[in-house]
Structure 1
């Protein structure tokens, strides 16, 4: 079912807003992960790891799920469709993968936050320093920027289903248009 123009615009604003918010939350996580990894101050590192968990549950998960849902609504409610264009399928797959990894990774964030809360000595915090939060956040930034590029560039390429669907539909704009042929231009 195709959405009406106002519904499409509202849906697009919602999808772009959730996706940009998600990217911002991922960048925030990357900054916190780098601070936690690079600081020599145990209290700063402890705070960074505790904040990572909060950002994960309060921003990353809700915005990731909202981006997935609004993207699905946009795909199903507009001419782009979910299975007509390779770039839409790629974005949907990347979003599913990112949300799935995120939901699994929240366990790691909870573990790091629990260890940061329980650490009594700076040496305990030093043992927590690992590249995992930096690597995960960096990969998420790369994935979301790739999805952004796909959205803006919309590379050509219909799937076989999209080719069949396009062949069976009238051209955009309604009825077939004919060109008048005459002697004068």
Structure 2
């Protein structure tokens, strides 16, 4: 429940960030653009980063205490790698959001506007990644890793089957 909740929350926070980024890119009002760019950074630190980390940690814990295991099935391993990648990119991207917020604050004083498609591109890519993770979670495609096959054989051997 914790993993699903934090993952859905993360997806929702990305959706909100993406909607704001689209508004910033589409509007002709420089005040709105600057305001959105200033807001995206604290939204990232207050919602995106904590939810992404909670999703990663709860997913690892859940896999370790469930029959699925952390590295027994390809779909779990792929989700883990996707989550680690997404969290890593997000943490690095927070520097970009800080810079965009800084430029927006400076632009607000000088009257210019700082436009960037970067938050839209990153938000759309993050949503696509999380939707793929969602599909993997729902459909759980077959396929065991080498580790999963060995552990299955070991369990079968201990029960007298192969």
The answer to whether structure 1 residue 39 and structure 2 residue 12 are counterparts is no
**Larger relative contact order, structure 1 or 2 (CA cutoff 8 Å, min sep 6):** 2
The answer to whether structure 1 residue 86 and structure 2 residue 74 are counterparts is yes
How does the TM-score come out when normalised to structure 1? 0.82
SS in 2 for 1:27: helix
Aligned counterpart, 2:143: 157
The runs of 4+ residues in structure 1 deviating greater than 4 Å are none
The answer to whether structure 1 residue 20 and structure 2 residue 20 are counterparts is no
Aligned counterpart, 1:134: 120
Which of residues 37, 44, 65 in structure 2 aligns to 1:49?
37
Unpaired stretches in structure 2, ≥5 consecutive residues: none
Distance 2:144 2:62 in 1: 17
Shift of 1:66: 0.3
Deviation per residue, 1:107-126 (Å, 9 max, x gap)? 0101111111122244x21x
How does the TM-score come out when normalised to structure 2? 0.93
Shift of 1:168: 1.9
Distance 1:50 1:131 in 2: 15
Distance 1:51 1:147 in 2: 27
- Aligned-residue RMSD, C-alpha: 1.5
Which of residues 106, 128, 131 in structure 2 aligns to 1:145?
131
Distance 1:71 1:64 in 2: 10
- Give the 5 Å matches for 1:62-73: 62-73=50-61
Distance 1:51 1:39 in 2: 16
Distance 2:143 2:40 in 1: 39
Distance 1:49 1:130 in 2: 9
